[in-house]
Structure 1
Amino acid sequence: MQGVKRKLVFVTSFELIAVAFNTLILTVLGHDTQVSTGLAIASSTVAMLWNYCWNSLFEYWEARRVDRTRTLWRRVLHAVGFEIGLLGMLVPLFAYFLHVALLEALALNVGLMLFFLVYTFVFNLTFDKIFGLPLSAQPVEAN
């Protein structure tokens, strides 16, 4: 599976699982379940848009590398880049929904980011095992 279809399956499955985790984590931390669910859905919407954009940018960059192998380092770079970009977008959203200061929202997001950093890495690895690598990560055939 390649192209837009691959990206849509990736983003949708990633975010459905992420909403469940996010709601559970926020509820366990003592936030109202309805607020946690609403925030999980809102942050998922932001994350889905960012995920599509980030993966497109990353694959554009990746396809232009001489070595297109998805090494451990490249997978870590992918996960960290995604999470840092998302962090910048979600801190104000969390502060607003949870009625907390930006610093508290940042601390909460950093904790969630650490969890989702591992989740992102494992999800990407599993997704590639199930659906195969995208064209951007496949070796260039010699003519």
Structure 2
Amino acid sequence: MRTVRDRIRHALSFEIIGLMLVTPLGAIAFHMPMHHIGVVSLVGATIATAWNYVYNWLFDHAMVRIAGTVRKTVAVRVLHAVLFELGLLAVLLPFIAWYLGISLIDALIMDIAFALFYMVYAFVFNWGYDRVFPLPVEEPASALGMESAVRAD
């Protein structure tokens, strides 16, 4: 399992590298000044991080109330991901449209592009991170003194 320090390094490097990539790429793709896309990207990353915390807290509480557990089936995980993205979209869409002075349709297209970028980026980043900073080798349970007790009756 990763340490707290490693998780902080992971989160910070993910956001910093992501912003360094998405800002110039977004400026080129949408023909907008880099500083405007930079502000949208930075605000979007900040809101996404806060929303991730709040959303997961709310979702887990709802799961306990409805199902009595936070264990998620594949269907619940799909619902979880879709509702997360819809909630983030509801917050970011008006901000993007307002800040950049574009229509809601153009903001929707931009937001979808950002979401697709981050989906691919997250896959590549996490694969690379695991190669550069591999998980520590965990000892088998028996080496940790957790083996089952054997009784000879």
Q: When the two structures are superposed, what TM-score results if normalisation uses the length of structure 1?
A: 0.63
Alignment counterpart, residue 132 of structure 1, candidates 132, 135, 138: 135
RMSD: 4.1
2:94 & 2:26 partners in 1: Cα distance?
16
2:37 & 2:103 partners in 1: Cα distance?
17
Checking the alignment, whether the CA contact within 8 Å between 1:7 and 1:52 is kept in structure 2 is no
* Structure 1 residue 46 displacement after superposition: 1.7
2:55 & 2:125 partners in 1: Cα distance?
15
* Structure 1 residue 89 displacement after superposition: 3.3
The one-character-per-residue Cα deviations of 1:12-36 (angstroms, maximum 9, x if unpaired) are: 1111011112211221021112212
Q: When the two structures are superposed, what TM-score results if normalisation uses the length of structure 2?
A: 0.60
Moved over 4 A (4+): 51-58, 80-85
For the pair 1:17 / 2:17, whether they are aligned, the reply is yes
Larger radius of gyration: 2
SS of the residue corresponding to residue 121 of structure 1 reads: helix
* Structure 1 residue 87 displacement after superposition: 3.5
The residue identity in structure 1 corresponding to 2:122 is T
Long gaps (5+) in structure 2: 64-69, 149-153
Match of 2:48 in 1: 47
2:45 & 2:95 partners in 1: Cα distance?
11
